[in-house]
Amino acid sequence: MMYKILETKELAANIFYMVVEAKRVAKACKPGQFVIVRTDEHSERIPLTICDYDTERGTITIVFQIVGAGTQIMSSLKAGDSFHDFVGPLGCPSEFVGEDLETLKTKKMLFVAGGVGTAPVYPQVKWLHQHGIKADVIIGAKTRDLLILEEEMKEVAGNLYVTTDDGSYGRSGMVTQTISDLVNEGKHYDVCVAIGPMIMMKFVCKLTKELDIPTIVSLNPIMVDGTGMCGACRVTVGGKVKFACVDGPEFDGHQVNFDEAMQRQQIYKTAEGRAFLKAKEGDTHHGGCGNCGN
């Protein structure tokens, strides 16, 4: 089974957008989920954010940034080329998808999207829009040229606030600045959903804890198998060991140990690091990835 690429474009420097034919995945897909792809049978498995899905056309839209050899190879694929594997939808759908619609309509939701994290925020806000719910959205980018999906988001968001770290477009400063500004202007939010780099999610959660706004984050640690077997995506949430690929990717942001998650990301990259993690995590270390000598 091959998964044909129907369309590709470069949204910003090193950030790519692809529409892929994957009927079964598209049929089952819900906001909040992700896919794992392989370009050929020997290549690495790459977990990717779902940016959009079209059940009728049977397509999934993915957005990715070049971060290593695998994504570099992916970026050279063109319309007409195919993926060897396109596994999904993986992970749990966003919690609100299962909530009572009338209760959901009474909640004021704020989405905070950082950089490439704007892509997974889009299907969530679109789903809400399709169900008659208008959510506020903040998109943050380092600079104007790295801003993605602004027009698409404008069509589905209640209010859209764009901010750039360098002030080259929209508001000036990081997303946390805009959250503070909106609250100071009198806005009230019942729930915040933050998706972006770990460091952004850490600081958004620090702020929303002070502001007493329950916050959901979507974690994307290193993943290998995406099925809960390898242990690569281990995180600690509320003092408990969780695996982002099966228990998440969404978690209560106020319970996530971000410092440990960020440290583990770095340590996991080397063979020595993985051996260290095996020793440190003891009986609860999975080792199913085969990378730590277990």
- Residues in the site for ligand NAD, rule: CB under 6 A? 49, 65, 114-117, 120, 140-142, 165, 174-176, 195-197, 199-200, 203, 218, 220
Place of tokens 């996991």: 268
Is position 226 an interface residue for ligand FES (rule: CB under 6 A)? Answer: yes
Would you say 58 or 70 has its CB closer to ligand NAD? Answer: 70
CB of 115 vs ligand NAD, minimal distance in Å: 2
138 with 111: CB under 8 angstroms?
yes
Is position 35 an interface residue for ligand FES (rule: CB under 6 A)? Answer: no
Of the candidates 194, 235, 244, the residue with the CA atom closest to the CA atom of residue 215: 194
Helix/strand/coil (H/E/C) assignment for every residue in 80-120: CEEECEEEEEECCCCHHHHCCHHHHHCCCEEEEEEHHHHHH
Q: From the list 21, 52, 136, 225, which residue makes contact with ligand FES (rule: CB under 6 A)?
A: 225
Is position 18 an interface residue for ligand FES (rule: CB under 6 A)? Answer: no
30/34 Cα distance (integer angstroms):
9
Q: From the list 200, 230, 237, 261, which residue makes contact with ligand FES (rule: CB under 6 A)?
A: 230
Q: Decide which of ligand FES, ligand NAD, none touches 223; Cβ closer than 5 to 8 Å per partner kind.
A: ligand FES
Would you say 229 or 275 has its CB closer to ligand FES? Answer: 229
CB of 238 vs ligand FES, minimal distance in Å: 18
Q: From the list 63, 198, 223, 261, which residue makes contact with ligand FES (rule: CB under 6 A)?
A: 223
Is position 48 an interface residue for ligand FES (rule: CB under 6 A)? Answer: no
Output the residue with the shortest Cβ distance to ligand NAD: 115
Place of tokens 């079964």: 24
Burial profile 78-92: b = 16 or more Cβ within 10 angstroms, e = fewer: eeeeebebbbbbbbb
Q: What string of DSSP letters covers 126-194?
A: HHHHHTT---EEEEEESSGGG--SHHHHHHH-SEEEEEETTSSSBEES-HHHHHHHHHHTT---SEEEE
In the shown chain, the binding pattern of residues 242 to 271 toward ligand FES, with x for contact by CB under 6 A and - for none, equals -x-x--------------------------
Is position 233 an interface residue for ligand FES (rule: CB under 6 A)? Answer: yes
Binding site for ligand FES (CB under 6 A): 223-226, 228-233, 243, 245
